[in-house]
Amino acid sequence: MHRSASRLTRILACAAVPVMLVVAGCSSDSDGKKDGASSSSAAPEATKTEVAVAPAKFAELPDPCKSITSKTVKSLVPSAKNKSGTRGKSSDTAARGGCSWNGLDDNGVKGSQYRWLDVGFTRFASDQALGSGADRAQADYAKQVAKAQAAEGAKKLATAPAPAGSIGEEATKVTYDLTKTGEDFKYATVIARTGNVVVTVNYNGAGYAGAKTPSASDILKGAEKAAKEAVASVAAANDAGQPSGSPKPAGSASAKASAKASAKASDKASASATKSD
């Protein structure tokens, strides 16, 4: 009887070993799953990278009063009061600027011819929140066209796109008649975009004291000529530098610094995107 009891004890002890191993095995597997889950939850989510906006093409604006050649100014405004032009006020000449000329050409008993010419520049920088300089300029270009078309009191208003590439990357011509000071005026406005810069040229004229009213086609041709020169001056101010003796617009240094900062930001964003990939 004693021998049987001893044998039974050994059998039970041996039977218990597999059970303990199974329990230990289950416990180990469970801990592994927990560790895996913990490790998975601790893994950081993939960082979403913003697509950097394209850098602005132009960092400077030309001197507006030198953007149209003196020869062209003389032909369009023969008796300009100020042949050098009257500079428009601007708090940031690296972002916007303008200049105007006007004069009355007195021909005695044949009457007088009045002419007005002005040019305006607006430059848009690339901004991560607002978009690329070119896109922002394109939006402003559309606004300027709409503004020209909404001229109060305009008659015989006509709008036409300029041939592709003839004046900047895109351009629109707006012409109309307007009566003021008792005289009939012919108006022409050319709005053009080159890169991140919008250029607007206004040219108008009238005949006084019996002088013949200028033709609409002559006024439009004058506006187109001035617009082509103004657009070309933007590239010249940034690529080849301004003509000798022409002062650089104030704020050009800050514009260059802004452009460099934009480029660095774009490089950092690109590097971040590469690391994420």
Digit-coded pLDDT (tens) for 3-51: 454 554 454 444 444 444 333 443 444 454 445 444 444 555 555 677 8
Provide the residue range defining the domain that includes 88. Answer: 64-252
How many structural domains are present in the chain? 1
Contact status, residue 196 vs residue 176, Cβ threshold 8 Å: no
Domain annotation covers residue 215: yes
Listed in order, strand segments (DSSP E) in the chain are: 86-87, 96-106, 112-123, 155-161, 170-180, 183-194, 197-208
Average pLDDT (237-265) is 47
Domain annotation covers residue 196: yes
Q: Which residue has the higher pLDDT, 206 or 107?
A: 206
Confidence (pLDDT) at 177:
98
Burial class (CB in 10 A: 0-12, 13-18, 19+), 221: middle
Domain annotation covers residue 268: no
Domain annotation covers residue 233: yes
